Amino acid sequence: HAERDDYFARAWRALAPPPGARVLEVGAGDLRVAASLAEQGYRVVAIEPVPEFLDRCDDPRVGRVCGSASRLPFATGSFD
């Protein structure tokens, strides 16, 4: 997992959204990434089709939506 985590860390640095940016994590799984982003001060919403995965995250800073990437329930421009 270390190689995968390093890949994501490098990709995130390259994207470098500004502090406080509103971020959408699509296919959030266990919401580990979403919780980490919230810890860093990002405003995070996670969308995940499996309700049980959404229940695994108890961080109140992470918005959770049960849904699909193919039908995002957000207006265009809702996220940075």
Tokens representing 49 are: 């089709």
Residue of 57 and 5 predicted with greater confidence:
57
Q: Is residue 35 a contact partner of residue 56, using CB atoms and an 8 Å limit? A: no
User: pLDDT band at 43, cuts 50/70/90?
Assistant: very high
pLDDT surpasses 80 at 12: no
Closest CA to 57 of 37, 80, 79: 37
- pLDDT at 19 (0 to 100): 82
Query: What proportion of the chain, given as a percentage, has pLDDT over 90?
Result: 51
CB 80 within 8 A of CB 21: yes
User: What is the model's pLDDT at position 24?
Assistant: 95
For residue 56, the model assigns a pLDDT of 84
pLDDT band at residue 1 under the 50/70/90 scheme: low
Phi, psi of 78 (to 5 degrees): -70, -20
